[in-house]
Structure 1
């Protein structure tokens, strides 16, 4: 990559591969634009980064290079050109998509056909978008693409279906699909949101390989300015649809004190056999098809505690989260919530907030309907009380009442994730299992969500199980860390011990890729 250069305004660039001038996008019904007079220029061989808070217009800017706007939005003014063609023109769009410009969204699992095997989907993309046609050559290209994104290329993996993938694996399969036609321009929306620190670091090398011939370029939308600073040649920042700043972004992670914790107290030992109130996992073995993904997992999460589950992509974290919430039937063993004086079982006690917020919400259903259903059916509230509670829950997660009338496709990725969290809270859970819920959010918004969880833990005794790749959040929030690898618990203990003196080589490798120290020296 070349060095960082300032990009505070639109500049004429000799032969840009992509160029946006004065683009304004807003609601069809009128109102403030989500993008206002946006400009950018991406020369061949360069990486342009776009940062900003959730809802600032980052994804809308990225979509414009595909000739797409979200439902209920329209282009009000401005021009977009990719390789000299207009992506909003139907004829030009057909020549561009998948061949000249390719896109990977922040919900990669939603772009995969749930009924088709991974190898089949990539093979179809190769046949459609490239000149490779023979069965042998197509299979060789599929294997090459999988290996290029650090995934297994063997027959067993190619025969998996999307539900058998972790979030990080789905992210990389989506990237393999985006690369199938050898596009000149890659548009990646939150490309590291489902990746552990080791794979996020490997993505730097992958992008360098993709751009090595000098004829390709990339636009990267990210909430992680530190990662972008290490990858991009230029960076622009959006706020409320306006380009307010540009140039190099350097955002070292500060060493922050651990917050004063309220609410329940976490376990002093990794597995507290005498704990009565809590989520108990015993002898859990889970499979996808014939492949075992969890092996004899046993642990106890005490009521009111905050436990983090970390590990490389594909280690079984999401499957464990789904087993805890009763959404994946284990082959052996069980996971159940126990509370003195209460009936054993799950019911509404354990609720999952999934990583794929788009897939978790019905695209045809309004936010109002999504929130009112659990409030009426589980909370047994009247229509009026349920509506008031829905507004209150949206306020808790930083959204206003106007969001109730929207559908998921009309929301940004960050807004969808907050709606998904509000819907989960509507069920009144005792345990909230959060699967990478902040991975697609900017640092400020993510911090606000985690502050909310901490507040609920203090005021309601909520138990939090957080599946994450963000070790900084683990250091600041969690009391205990469980490290998974290949479906097994390889390390389990208090945060202050595991992050300061890890015992397993994999834990040490994950910590080595973190951006700066995770705990104050005094601790």
Structure 2
């Protein structure tokens, strides 16, 4: 069934001719988008990073990213206009619940986990009794601890995957009539992502009168849950209908621009990263225990494990952003020494692209800081290098003047990567850098990393939940669980992780349609 163009009086969501674009003119972000969603239905919204998916989702809450404006069109949710402030007060919380793709941004850093979920429950279900019990039930439903110690933690004291599930628990509180989920599984390992699918499906079965807008890069998730799908490309709906119609395998030509993009790249050099007996704490709790590993120069090591196993804490320790309670972290020069005083040896590309970037700074400023401060470039050279570095990660020079709030989640993550590369590091620690990207662009970013480490001798530690990425791009895999290394070896030798793919090339992949979106089926 195709999304209705005209809609009817029984629709919970009705969008007609919605166009969003930069204030004062410029290329639209959404172009004449029209769709309708009835109660009891699930609408999947798919497309490449930057295609306008999140902008469409935010419009259902009456929100527009800074720098954008509504040029035309209408939005109605439960018959009310979310762009009207009085109507929005009636909609937000009680009728519409939203979970963004950046869970850290949706959680209040000053409030404890239990308080955040409890507040969501009180807003949507006034007069609720035994709130603590219901909070524990919500946390248990998303596979989180329910003990008092966990409820008293704040968002910065949990892993990215745990923060994602806390945000989902808060969104599910009180069973809103419309649930808008933006990339609900992006920060989760394979097992938890599957559990999340089952959880969301179960909540839909319990709440048959509710509706959901599901934005995802995961075609399996959308195919499993959605009744209808719209495919966005460059802000337009280019296909709509049931998942079996939209996810059509047509093949796609190979696309690999990474090697060309590295021409003229900064001549950084690699180094062997060595970790010996490392331990780390969050407060009084030890979260890493006697961790030892070596990442040889010019290679890629994948760090895998379930959410909450300590992967992000280890990544932050390596970059000097989290205190080490014991042990050592060191790097040894490659054969060609790096010029003294130029750049930091280890650069972190964080999982949380929102928290990693200053919301008040433009992309140009974010890139110029390491180019001038760490590499000592003159202003003119730094400006040219900032533009070239942005091109390395597949972004246009026009984005240099934008701020993080004006970028899509995928664009922010690539700016994050560009800023790290601007420092010409010896070692790059990448924490779930593809979690906010569709698979096509995620593969392109990982291809780029492969070219960089081969041409520049860059050493890479890739923290990932994606078995295919670990198998394809890593020279070795290290599995972390409970803050300890439990397995290590070449891809294919670590239990639960697949054999490496024969080649990084994606040519001939039958699970791509003409727009580049994966078809329903096992991608890679």
- What is the correspondence of 1:359-374 to structure 2 with a 5 Å cutoff? 359-374=355-370
* 1:192 and 2:185 aligned: yes
Q: 1:347 to 1:77 in 2, by over 3 A?
A: closer
Measured in 1, the distance between the counterparts of 2:38 and 2:342 equals 54
Q: 1:317 aligns with which of 311, 318, 327?
A: 311
2:278 is aligned with 1:284? yes
Does the aligned pair in 2 maintain the 1:337–1:346 contact within 8 Å? no
Give the match's secondary structure for 1:498.
coil
Aligned pairs, how many?
483
Residue from 146, 149, 156 that aligns with 2:149: 156
| Paired position in structure 1 for 2:40 | 45
Give the CA deviation at 1:120.
2.0
State the distance in 2 between where 1:183 and 1:113 align: 20
What is the alpha-carbon distance in structure 1 between the residues aligned to residue 341 and residue 152 of structure 2? Answer: 35
Report the equivalent of 2:227: 233
Alignment of 1:174 with 2:167, yes or no, is yes
Q: Which runs of 4+ in 1 moved over 3 A?
A: 249-252, 340-347, 499-503, 515-518
Other-structure match for 1:267: none
Superposition map of 1:242-391 within 5 A: 242-247=236-241, 248=243, 249-250=246-247, 277-339=271-333, 348-391=344-387
Q: Is the 8 A contact 2:29 2:235 kept in 1?
A: yes
**2:85 and 2:445 mapped to 1: Cα distance?**
40
Instruction: Map Cα deviations across residues 345-385 of structure 1 (whole Å, 9 max, x no partner).
Output: 99711110001111100001111111111111110000001
- 1:475–1:499 contact (8 Å) kept in structure 2: no
Superposed CA RMSD: 2.6
In structure 1, distance between residues paired with 2:235 and 2:523: 34
For residue 102 of structure 1, give the secondary structure of its aligned residue in structure 2: strand
Q: 2:22 aligns with which of 11, 23, 27?
A: 27
* Structure 2 CA distance for partners of 1:205 and 1:501, relative to 1, 3 Å: closer
Is the 1:171–1:191 contact (alpha carbons within 8 Å) kept by the matching residues of 2? yes
Counterpart-to-counterpart distance in 1, 2:184 and 2:45 = 12
Secondary structure, aligned partner of 1:209: helix
Which residue matches 1:432? Answer: 428
* Deviation, structure 1 residue 517: 9.1
TM-score, normalised relative to structure 2: 0.87
Identify if the C-alpha distance between structure 1 residues 167 and 501 changes in structure 2 by more than 3 Å, giving closer, same or farther: closer
1:461 to 444, 457, 462: 457
Whether the 8 Å contact between 1:225 and 1:251 is mirrored in structure 2 is no
2:343·2:374 contact (CA, 8 Å) conserved in 1? Answer: no
- 2:508 is aligned to none
| Structure 2 equivalent of residue 398 of structure 1 | 394
Q: Distance between the aligned counterparts of 1:210 and 1:107, measured in 2?
A: 22
TM-score (norm 1): 0.87
Equivalent of 1:407 in 399, 403, 406: 403
In structure 1, stretches of 5+ residues that fail to align are: 263-275, 504-514, 519-523
CA distance in 1: counterparts of 2:171 and 2:418, whole angstroms: 32
Asked if 1 retains the 8 angstrom alpha-carbon contact of 2:43 and 2:229, the reply is yes
With over 3 angstroms needed to count, the CA separation of the structure-2 counterparts of 1:132 and 1:328, relative to structure 1, is: farther
Shift of 1:128: 3.1
Q: State the alpha-carbon separation in 2 of the partners of residues 78 and 384 from structure 1.
A: 43
Whether the 8 Å CA contact 1:22–1:79 is kept in 2: the answer is yes
Structure 2 CA distance for aligned equivalents of residues 67 and 113 of structure 1: 21
Structure 2 unpaired stretches of 5+ = 260-269, 500-520
Which residue is equivalent to 1:130?
125
Contact 1:132 1:138 in 2 (8 A): no
Kept in 2: contact 1:325–1:346 (CA 8 A): no
Return the offset for 1:277.
Answer: 4.6
Q: Is the 8 A contact 2:343 2:370 kept in 1?
A: no
Partner Cα separation in structure 2 for residue 181 and residue 71 of structure 1: 30
Contact 2:309 2:481 survives alignment (8 Å): yes
Deviation of residue 409 (structure 1)?
A: 0.6
Larger displacement relative to structure 2 (177-186 or 358-367): 177-186
Q: Paired residue for 1:183, among 168, 172, 176?
A: 176
Return the offset for 1:40: 1.9
